[in-house]
Structure formats: C-alpha cells, structure tokens
C-alpha cells in the first residue's frame, strides 16, 4: 500500500456516487452544483460536470481561483464574503474567467461588492443557525443589495441541521419552507427570483420536486463515517478511506498510525467514535492523537504491520490534510485546492 497514512480512493464507488446524485437531481428537475470543498480536485470536478452538474460550488475565493484557472467557468462562492484588501481585484480577475456568484447576508458586505462584475445570492437561515438572514427578511436585504448596483440572482441556504440524527429528516422540509418564504419576500419587493438553492448530503434524498431549483451537496462523492452513522449511506458507498498501519497491540487494543493529522479531529456528539473501520463494523475508534488512532476491536485483531482502511468522520477535513489521492486503479490525483482557506 506504500507509506501510511494516505488517502485511498476507490474510483468505481466514486463514479457510482457521482452518477447516483446526478440521477436524483435530474429526476426531481433540480440543477446540481456540487460543493468542491469536499474533494478540492480538478479530476473529480470534471467527472461531476461530465455527469451533468451545472457548475461548481466553492467556499473561498482561493478555491474559486484554482478551479477557474483549470477552466471551470461557472462558480458559486456560497459564503457570506467579506472583502478584505486585494479581494476586489481577485474577484475581478475571477470574473474574467468564469461566471461568478457570491453569497451575502448583510448590506455592509454588499457595499464592498458593489461595482464588481459578480452576481449575488442572499443567504438565509433555514434552521442551522450559522450565517444567513431570516427568510422573511430576504426581500429587504435583496432590495438593498440591488441598490448597490448588484444583480441578485436569488437566495440560498445550507440546511446544516441535517447533520444530526434528530433533525436530519426534517431538514429538507425546513429548507423548502424557508426558501418558499424567502421567495415570497423577494417577490413582494418586486425582485425576480431565479435561484432557490439548498442542499446537503444528508438531506438531498428527502428533497421534493417543486421549490428548490439547485442542490449543493458535497460529501456524497466520497461518503464518510458521519453519513454512515446518520443513515444516509451504507459502508458500500464509502469511496474514500485513510490507509493505516497497525503499529501497536499493547493493552489489548489496536493502534494505527492514522491520527488527527490524517483523519481530522471531527467528532459530533452523536458519533460512535473518531471514525470507523471499513470491513470491521464492530470496531470503534475510542481515542485519537495526532499520529495514533486507538481502536477497540472485538474478535481477532489485525496483525502488527497490517493495513486497515479507516473511514474518517468528516471526509472534507481528512482530504484537506493530504497532498494527493492514491487511486484504487493505480496513479494519483492531487488535492489541488488544499489549504486554500482565503
């Protein structure tokens, strides 16, 4: 397997995951704009577009720059951007290569965007309580953004409360209701509503045709332990693992060399541990250090020196820790936008 820990990507499962989400969106008549922060990979983004995606979602100007430089020409920075020194010039350069949409949730941020050749989407809060205005306030904010000379394409939300066993199933309904209220609010302000964008991997399957016209899931390409434990997918849909070596057997435990610097340290309150082990569903990662995962492993333990495939809790953070994917078919792909946080 080569030096561990490293990212191992099963490209057959990847292709199946890309095709399945594309089919789901097509069946429901919804455009698919996958979030590229998950994979940060030109090769995977290309496969998503080849399967019918309408464009890409990114989180930062830096990610947008990487994809625009590679020819991706329709980008949504789905984030309430606050332009710092130099950022206006960066957005202008980006807009020379791609159609650029950016998120906004305040008049103050909108003022800093004015006179730039980008469109704006108003962010609303559909229950995750992170950024975004209340849905009924979307029209007023959109009107103020329009006064800044910017074109408002519509509204977007991230139903992040889908990342909880209690609220996963209701998140898609909350999202639809919030987007409907926001759309009415824009209409009351006499503004056109061309975009109603939502979506997350845990909620995508519950989205009904009719309200949303765009979905932005990210994690679905790879899957991860959070998706397995939320019930979104089975282990057979996990395309990305961290290959690890068993380095210690003391105390009846299994310790591997994949720690938080390879897996990320994410652990939701409802997670069973710090990740899972592929092909060992009863094993539990009970502790994580930077270079150790400590696993309680019922039954016969893997031998010292053997390779185990660990499924990270949150695959986006695991990918961002590595320079490349090692493919099940041989070869590698770079994590092209790794670390592009700004």
Sign of the Cα torsion 123, 129, 133, 138 reads: positive
Nearer to a second copy, 177 or 287 (CB): 287
Q: Return contacts of 226-230, CB within 8 angstroms, 24+ apart.
A: 226/163, 226/266, 226/268, 226/271, 226/313, 226/314, 227/201, 227/202, 228/276, 228/311, 229/165, 229/270, 229/271, 229/272, 229/276, 230/162, 230/163, 230/164, 230/165, 230/168, 230/202
12, 14, 20, 24 alpha-carbon torsion, rounded to 10°: -170
DSSP per-residue string spanning 288-334? E-SS-EEEE--SSPPPTT-EEEEE-SSHHHHHTT-SEEEETTSSEEE
Query: Least distance in Å: CB of 145 to a second copy?
Result: 15
Report the alpha-carbon distance of residue 175 to residue 289 in Å, rounded: 37
Nearer to a second copy, 52 or 334 (CB): 334
Query: Least distance in Å: CB of 11 to a second copy?
Result: 23
Query: Least distance in Å: CB of 112 to a second copy?
Result: 8
Query: Least distance in Å: CB of 208 to a second copy?
Result: 26
Nearer to a second copy, 125 or 214 (CB): 125
Nearer to a second copy, 271 or 327 (CB): 271
The residue behind tokens 């332009």 is 83
At what angle are helices 61-69 and 87-95 packed, to 10 degrees? 30
Sign of the Cα torsion 144, 181, 77, 194 reads: negative
Cβ-proximal residues to 147 (8 Å cutoff; 6+ apart), any chain: none
Nearer to a second copy, 231 or 289 (CB): 289
Query: Which CA distances in Å does 132 have to 128, 241, 337?
Result: 9, 33, 26
Strands 119-123, 293-296: pairing is unpaired
Nearer to a second copy, 197 or 245 (CB): 245
Nearer to a second copy, 228 or 246 (CB): 246
The residues that touch a second copy, with contacts defined as CB under 8 A, are 2-6, 37, 59-60, 79-82, 84-87, 105-106, 108-109, 112, 125, 129-134, 160, 245-251, 253, 255, 257, 260-262, 264-267, 287, 289-292, 294, 304-305, 314, 316-317, 320-323, 339, 341-342
Percent helix, strand and coil across the chain, each to the nearest 5: 35, 25, 45
Query: Least distance in Å: CB of 260 to a second copy?
Result: 6
Query: Least distance in Å: CB of 157 to a second copy?
Result: 12
Nearer to a second copy, 1 or 26 (CB): 1
Query: Least distance in Å: CB of 131 to a second copy?
Result: 4
- Which 3 state secondary structure label does DSSP give 287? strand
Query: Least distance in Å: CB of 292 to a second copy?
Result: 6
Residues in the chain: 342
Report the alpha-carbon distance of residue 48 to residue 332 in Å, rounded: 18
Query: Least distance in Å: CB of 282 to a second copy?
Result: 20
Nearer to a second copy, 3 or 190 (CB): 3
Residue 182's CB is within 10 A of a number of other CB atoms, namely 30
């Amino acid at each position: 397997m080569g030096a561990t820990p490293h990212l191992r990507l099963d490209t057959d499962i990847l292709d199946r995951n890309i095709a399945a989400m594309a089919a789901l969106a097509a069946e429901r008549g919804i455009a698919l704009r996958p979030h590229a922060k998950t994979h940060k990979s030109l090769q995977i983004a290309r496969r998503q577009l080849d399967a019918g995606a309408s464009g890409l979602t990114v989180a930062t100007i830096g990610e947008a720059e990487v994809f625009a430089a590679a020819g991706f020409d329709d980008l949504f920075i789905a984030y309430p951007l606050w332009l710092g020194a130099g950022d206006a010039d960066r957005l202008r350069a980006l807009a020379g290569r791609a159609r650029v949409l950016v998120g906004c949730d305040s008049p103050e941020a909108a003022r800093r965007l004015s006179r730039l050749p980008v469109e704006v989407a108003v962010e609303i809060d559909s229950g995750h309580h992170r950024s975004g205005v209340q849905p009924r306030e979307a029209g007023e904010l959109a009107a103020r953004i329009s006064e800044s000379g910017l074109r408002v394409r519509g509204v977007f939300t991230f139903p992040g409360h889908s990342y909880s066993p209690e609220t996963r199933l209701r998140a898609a309904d909350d999202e639809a209701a919030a987007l409907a209220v926001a759309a009415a609010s824009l209409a009351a302000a006499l503004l056109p509503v061309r975009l109603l964008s939502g979506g997350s991997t845990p909620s995508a399957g519950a989205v009904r045709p009719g309200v949303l016209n765009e979905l932005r899931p990210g994690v679905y390409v790879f899957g991860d332990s959070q998706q397995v434990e939320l019930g979104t997918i089975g282990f057979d849909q996990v395309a990305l693992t961290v290959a690890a070596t068993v380095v210690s057997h003391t105390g009846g435990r299994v310790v591997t060399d994949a720690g938080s610097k390879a897996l990320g340290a994410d652990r939701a309150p409802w997670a069973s541990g710090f990740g899972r082990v592929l092909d060992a569903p009863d094993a539990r990662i009970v502790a994580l250090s930077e270079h150790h995962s400590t696993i309680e492993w019922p039954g016969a333990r893997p031998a010292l020196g053997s390779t185990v495939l660990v499924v990270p809790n949150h695959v986006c953070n695991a990918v961002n820790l590595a320079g490349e994917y090692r493919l099940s078919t041989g070869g590698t792909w770079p994590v092209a936008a790794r670390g592009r946080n700004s």
